[in-house]
Amino acid sequence: RKEVEQDPGPFNVPEGATVAFNCTYSNSASQSFFWYRQDCRKEPKLLMSVYSSGNEDGRFTAQLNRASQYISLLIRDSKLSDSATYLCVVNMNRDDKIIFGKGTRLHILP
Amino acid sequence: ETGVTQSPTHLIKTRGQQVTLRCSSQSGHNTVSWYQQALGQGPQFIFQYYREEENGRGNFPPRFSGLQFPNYSSELNVNALELDDSALYLCASSWGVQGSEQYFGPGTRLTVT
């Protein structure tokens, strides 16, 4: 099993729709989780940290499920500008390793 | 803009050569992490430097080495370049190491011929 797995997509979603991504991780000792977005040929940009209690930032909601070892990202009322690759990140604090998933490509269709 | 800068932007090297990439961290940050990103893949963690010491390393051979300076800027050195080393090299800075949010520079695109 890979350390961090994401559905590569692409997800083709009409503007205004809600879309959700999941990301699974293999190491139950993982402590910190993040979502980044990456536009084509650009660097990743931090979207949000993922807290145990879940967190929301505007149209974006992140959840952590430790029992099933996955994190999720929900985007509501999607905009054309949300088109990007979404990367989940797991920080295995004990080993000081930081693992990125391969990313999920999202296309918002007008 | 994150305030993280990298140089050079692009680089072309020949197999067997050595290369040094540079990164200046965001003001106030004391940790720099380096990543390799091949086309269509997520960034792969190379290593992290915290207060001038290596603090965590991914699955990269010893010919990938680094330094961090007292001002927290950092270098990534790659010896004996191979064709598969062609990739985007990203550095990210953060405050602290445990569960820290990272901010990326624009990357250096390395091509090995």
Cis-peptide into B61, omega within 30 deg: no
Q: Does the pLDDT of residue B1 top 80, yes or no?
A: no
Phi, then psi, of B104 in degrees rounded to 5: -95, 150
DSSP conformation class of B26 = P
A31 CB within 8 Å of a chain B CB:
yes
Identify all chain B residues contacting A62, using CB atoms and an 8 Å cutoff: none
pLDDT digits (tens, 9 = 90+) for A58-102: 999 999 999 999 999 999 999 999 999 999 999 876 666 789 999
- Nearest chain B Cα distance for residue A87, angstroms: 7
Q: Which of B42, B48, B100 sits opposite A100 (nearest CB)?
A: B42
Mean pLDDT of B20-37: 94
* Under 8 Å between Cβ of B72 and B29: yes
pLDDT digits (tens, 9 = 90+) for A8-26: 889 999 999 999 999 999 9
Per the DSSP assignment, residues forming a β-bridge with B67 are B75
User: For residue B80, what pLDDT is reported?
Assistant: 98
Q: Which of A65, A21, A50 is nearest to B99 (CA)?
A: A50
- Nearest chain A Cα distance for residue B25, angstroms: 15
Sign of the alpha-carbon dihedral angle for B80, A91, A40, B29: negative
3-state secondary structure of B65: strand
